[in-house]
Amino acid sequence: MSNNFKMLATTLFGFEPLLERELLKLGAMDIKPGIRNVSFVGDKGFMYKADLSLRTALSILKPIKSFKFHTEDEFYHRLYEFNWSTVMAVDKTFMVSATTHQSIFNNSQFVGLRTKDAIVDFFRNKTGKRPDVSTDNPQMIFNVHINKNTCTLSLDSSGDKLFKRGYRTATNIAPINEVLAAGLLLHSGWDGQSDFMDPMCGSGTILIEAAMIACQIPPNLNRRSFGFMHWQDWDEDLYEVIMNSVLKKIRPFHFKIKGIDKAPSAVRKAQDNVDKANLSEFISIHHDDFFSTSKGGERSLHMLFNPPYGNRLDVNPELFYKTLGQVLRENYKNTKVCFITTDEDAPRYLNLKGSKPIKVFNGGIEAKLYQFLVY
């Protein structure tokens, strides 16, 4: 009898193709991309590997029940009928996250509340005890997704969202999400086969994600826990086997990764995070103003950065991008330049030849990833 089951990896808008490729490379079966998610099939060991290894996933969900309903009471009773003791012990803390689409429920918080009521009532009536709800540090996270009159109940195997890699303790103003950083790098074609630079590195997230991609280091290696570690069928020995298998894929890196920032506080934060990620042998951080630097040497360079934009840009956007373009043309030949911005006039000001931009979202703000080649 097969031990495989269906899972759902959630992601950011526009990252579905990246996540699909990651899952294919990892060995998933029956991969089907959706909107902000990709479904796939694997066993428990593969679920552990997915949580450890996927760079563009936000969470890995394991569906455990699906049903149709037409009223609020029917929704509650279908949940209450489920044997919750098969997936959770009464002494575990839990929380419920919910999303709805074209449903009789207009409020996802209400859906979460009714789900919580069904779980608590089940255990209280069966054991005389009730599990505690925790929104700060729950041991079990249940995901409820309602589409029209169909409800899918899932266990969240990740626990905290997977962009919480475990290496970032210090942040700068408007830090970039780790999953977003990894996705931008993969969209830009970064493969670890050249030098790399982030000229406005902030707290160093892009640099760290670039180094982990280059060395094939599992992105969530530094996390202390996952949701599945609190499940009834948690297999620590199997997890150790999976961990050792992904560690064997780490490869050497023979190029340089460099970060620059003109703010001393950002440089200190970036260095702290690089040290926490145990990547200081691959990444160097420098206090400098990029506009007064030059590349040096003839080796090809891959550049990706998140320049200030909107309220964070304290100079005229036209002047900023014209100066940026001039520095790149004069001082950074043989460089692939990639950056994310909300300013659609940026390419015109840069005066560089680029490819079609890719739409992404940075913290809910629509932006675009631009890519240029400097010959």
- State whether the Cα torsion 166-169-170-175 is positive or negative: positive
- Of 228, 178, 234, the closest CA to residue 208 belongs to 178
- Domain 178-215+251-374 superfamily per CATH: Vaccinia Virus protein VP39 (3.40.50.150)
> What's this model's pTM, rounded to 2 decimal places?
0.94
Predicted pLDDT of residue 1: 38
Q: Per residue of the chain (375 residues), give pLDDT as tens.
A: 369 999 999 999 999 999 999 999 999 999 999 999 999 999 999 999 999 999 999 999 999 999 999 999 999 999 999 999 999 999 999 999 999 998 999 899 999 999 999 999 999 999 999 999 999 899 999 999 999 999 999 999 999 999 999 998 766 666 789 999 999 999 999 999 999 999 999 999 999 999 999 999 999 999 999 999 999 999 999 999 999 999 999 999 999 999 999 999 999 999 999 999 999 999 999 999 999 999 988 899 999 999 987 666 667 889 999 999 999 999 999 999 999 998 888 889 998 989 999 999 988 889 999 999 998
State which H helix or E strand residue 372 sits in. strand 365-374
Give the residue extent of every domain in the chain: 5-156, 178-215+251-374
- CATH topology assigned to domain 5-156: VC0802-like (3.30.2130)
Q: In whole angstroms, what is the distance from residue 271 CA to residue 215 CA?
A: 19
For residue 354, what is the DSSP state? B
Close Cβ partners of 143 (under 8 Å, ≥ 6 residues apart): 59, 61, 96, 97, 98, 153, 154, 155, 156
Closest CA to 247 of 104, 52, 32: 52
Whole-number pLDDT of residue 277:
95
Task: Tell how far CA 165 is from the center of its chain.
Answer: 9
User: Given this model, what pLDDT does residue 83 score?
Assistant: 97
Helix, strand and coil in the chain, % to nearest 5: 35, 25, 40
- What does the angle CA 120 – CA 126 – CA 130 come to, to the nearest 5 degrees? 35
Predicted pLDDT of residue 173: 61
Query: d(Cα 131, Cα 129) in Å, to the nearest integer?
Result: 7
Residue 308, pLDDT score: 82
